[in-house]
Structures are given as structure tokens and as C-alpha cells.
């Protein structure tokens, strides 16, 4: 997972329950851009799912 991005492991560890990008950025002291980039890479790699829709979707670990 470290190969996905340098922040991938830290973000993934925070996703035990649905979490928004803002919550991740605040909790990890990352910018929203860093969080979004990491989430996009984790989704592409199959580690994370987006739950909900709208302006503030949440993300969680893939349950499979």
C-alpha cells in the first residue's frame, strides 16, 4: 500500500468507519488536495469505497 502514495497508509488506517475528506484532512494534518489525491489512488487500487453522494461523500475501507 505504501507504493500507492506516501500518505496512503495513514489515510487507510483512518477509514474503519465512513469518514469525509475534511475529517481526514483535519485528523491527519493534510491538505484537502493531498487527501483527495490519496483517496483517488486508493479507490483505483481497490482499497477504498466511496459511500454516499453529494457535496460531502464519505469514504471507507473496502469491505470485500
- In tens, the pLDDT along 8-46 reads 999 999 999 999 999 999 999 999 999 999 999 999 999
Give the residue extent of every domain in the chain.
8-61
Q: ∠ CA 18-22-54 to the nearest 5 degrees?
A: 65
Class in CATH terms, 8-61? mainly alpha
> What pTM value is reported for the model?
0.89
The residue length of the chain stands at 64
Question: What is residue 50's predicted lDDT score, i.e. its pLDDT?
Answer: 93
CA torsion sign for 30, 38, 34, 20 is negative
CA 59 – CA 15 distance, rounded (Å): 7
Amino acid at each position: 500500500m505504501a507504493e500507492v502514495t506516501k500518505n496512503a497508509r495513514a489515510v487507510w488506517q483512518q477509514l474503519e468507519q465512513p469518514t469525509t475528506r475534511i475529517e481526514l484532512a483535519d485528523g491527519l494534518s493534510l491538505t484537502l488536495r493531498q487527501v483527495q489525491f490519496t483517496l483517488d489512488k486508493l479507490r483505483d487500487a481497490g482499497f477504498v469505497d466511496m459511500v454516499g453522494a453529494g457535496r460531502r461523500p464519505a469514504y471507507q475501507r473496502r469491505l470485500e
